[in-house]
Amino acid sequence: MSRPALALPRLARVTLNELAYAGLKQALLSGRLEPGNVITLRRLADELGTSMMPVREAVSRLAAEHALEVLPNRGIVVPDLDRRDAEDIWELRIRLEGEACARAARRASAADAARIAKLAAAVERAAAATDLHGVLEANNAFQFAVYQAADSPVTLQLIETLRMRSVPHCTAAVRLLIAERPPYYAHSWQNHAALVAAITAREAVAARRIKQSDLRAFRDYVNSIRTRAV
Amino acid sequence: MSRPALALPRLARVTLNELAYAGLKQALLSGRLEPGNVITLRRLADELGTSMMPVREAVSRLAAEHALEVLPNRGIVVPDLDRRDAEDIWELRIRLEGEACARAARRASAADAARIAKLAAAVERAAAATDLHGVLEANNAFQFAVYQAADSPVTLQLIETLRMRSVPHCTAAVRLLIAERPPYYAHSWQNHAALVAAITAREAVAARRIKQSDLRAFRDYVNSIRTRAV
DNA sequence: TATATTGAGCTGTGATCACAGATGTCAATC
DNA sequence: GATTGACATCTGTGATCACAGCTCAATATA
């Protein structure tokens, strides 16, 4: 037994593969990749300063999760959702994210709650600056802090998968939202605040209800923008 | 416009990557890969008669879904679930598969119901022959026929992900079940029959209830076997 | 006999190359 | 002027190779 005994959870070396995956995931969740955007393995590899190998594995993973789509000899594209998949995903997000909020309210420590409150404030600041990616990033940080407090790694993973498909579908609408409708989303901040309050007060039922009605309202807004755009 | 106009949903060429992925997925869902089994990229490539390339992408995908785990310089292993992940996954399976059964009851056509009934009978035959992989395969065919009837592709995908992690966790218990406890699982067939009946009769609430109580009973059986084994 | 050490043989990771297929441009044709 | 055809270019896929790091068993050491 020559291995240093305390290296137990031996941190796996950070592979370029993982790096590329994390980068693409972040790009999807922050709205930097939008439906229709076509990218290329070689271009991505150049940007990362690596060969195509790590990138193609990362893309392959995301394609398996339907977060990206590989067009045989044309490139890689961010897929848009057809009506049916969109409905499915909204329904599942409402169910899973609602439940995660309820769990978070039951389990969050005071420190968790404080951290969550801080992140909620950051979202508001980013929106005030009409910074699209800033809003989406801050919002993700806020939401995932809540879901992390729910202390259910598998649920967290499913939510991530769903959001990677859902966010690009919503990006255009969010851009409009923060650019043109400040009064509209003002009441979304009230929901954020209410959620933070419910979690702090350990009111699981209220937390679920707030998150679910917020998501439904957001879904309706996105749908209204999209049907108008067509 | 020289392309034949009717090739619209141009069927993507079947890549070796996809083939390897499908093979591994099937191996996991049918209990041919059990927790602790260590495999190797090179061995898998040999078995498939290809290079390592397609296999490693397939493994990479499954590792992203936590269905496999890559041990840095030792090989690839089927991970077993710790208590917390196991609880999470049971909870989510109960929730999602229950809901899928309810949807299936609402939407299944008569033809769907008939097909489902046939597949349920096949499970029983496989169990009578104490054929472990046969049981798991027939069971998957039956269950997924139900979930397919639910007509929610995204839900189906999430259920698949969860089952790829759950099935290996249960395989040992199922082996014991079909080998030593025929009277025990006899009442599981009653549940299958009841589920088929509920779907045929379009009783969504009953379908959900039956599936959920069946899953809970199965979970408890698996847990009892596992704690006994320790 | 128990412990330490070496080294050969693995492992997955990443780079590079070859290739079939699709695309889009541009000239030849009617 | 509109259509067709061919060719150069670019795509992802798969094979092959080099390599650093770990494992594990045989060996040396006390």
DSSP string covering B125-173: HHHHTT-HHHHHHHHHHHHHHHHHHTT-HHHHHHHHHHHHHHHHHHHHH
Using the predicted structure, report yes or no on whether residue A4 has a pLDDT greater than 70: no
Confidence category of residue A31, pLDDT binned at 50, 70, 90: very high
pLDDT tens for chain B, 230 residues long, are 333 333 333 456 789 999 999 999 999 999 999 999 999 999 999 999 999 999 999 999 999 999 999 998 899 999 999 999 999 999 999 999 999 999 999 999 999 999 999 999 998 888 888 788 998 999 999 999 999 999 999 999 999 999 999 999 999 998 888 887 666 666 777 889 999 999 999 999 999 999 999 999 999 999 998 887 66
What pLDDT does residue A158 have?
97
Instruction: Tell if the CB–CB gap between A56 and B60 is shorter than 8 Å.
Output: no
Chain B residues contacting A via beta carbons under 8 Å: 10, 12-13, 17, 21, 56-57, 60-61, 64-66, 72, 84-85, 88-89, 91-92, 95, 99, 152-155, 157-158, 161-162
Choice among A133-142, A177-186, B157-166 with the minimum mean pLDDT: A177-186
Cα torsion through B35, B37, B39, B44, rounded to 10 = -80
Specify burial of residue A59 (Cβ count, 10 A radius: 0-12, 13-18, 19+).
buried
Model pTM score: 0.90
Q: Which of A17, A88, A152 sits opposite B155 (nearest CB)?
A: A88
- φ, ψ dihedrals at A76, nearest 5°: -120, 135
Does residue A53 reach within 7 angstroms of strand C, measured from its CB?
yes
β-strands A69-71, A75-77: how paired? antiparallel
CA–CA distance, A209 with B53 (Å, rounded to integer): 47
The mean pLDDT value of chain A amounts to 89
Considering only residues 65-84 of chain B, list those whose CB is below 7 Å from strand C.
Answer: 70-76
Instruction: Tell if the CB–CB gap between A162 and B154 is shorter than 8 Å.
Output: yes
Q: Which of B18, B59, B60, B148 to mutate to test the interface with A (most CBs of A within 10 A)?
A: B60
What pLDDT does residue B7 have?
34
> Of all residues in chain A, what percent carry a pLDDT higher than 90?
76
CA–CA distance, B116 with B110 (Å, rounded to integer): 10
The answer to whether residues B131 and B29 touch, using CB atoms and an 8 Å cutoff, is: no
Helix or strand (DSSP H, E) at B120: helix B110-128
* Distance measured from the CA of protein residue B196 to the C1' of nucleotide C11, in angstroms: 48
- Give chain A's length: 230
Give B-chain residues touching A91 at CB under 8 angstroms: 152
Task: Quick: pLDDT tens for B120-134.
Answer: 999 888 888 878 899
User: At a CB cut-off of 8 Å and minimum separation 6, what does B114 contact?
Assistant: none
Residue B71's SS3 state is: strand
Does residue B49 reach within 7 angstroms of strand C, measured from its CB?
no
What pLDDT does residue A3 have?
35
What pLDDT does residue A8 have?
35
Task: Find how far residue B109's CA is from the centre of its chain.
Answer: 23
Task: Quick: pLDDT tens for A60-69.
Answer: 999 999 999 9
Q: Which of A17, A99, A154 sits opposite B89 (nearest CB)?
A: A154
CA–CA distance, B55 with B22 (Å, rounded to integer): 11
Nearest to A62 by CA among B158, B87, B105, B61: B61
* Distance measured from the CA of protein residue B153 to the C1' of nucleotide D14, in angstroms: 30
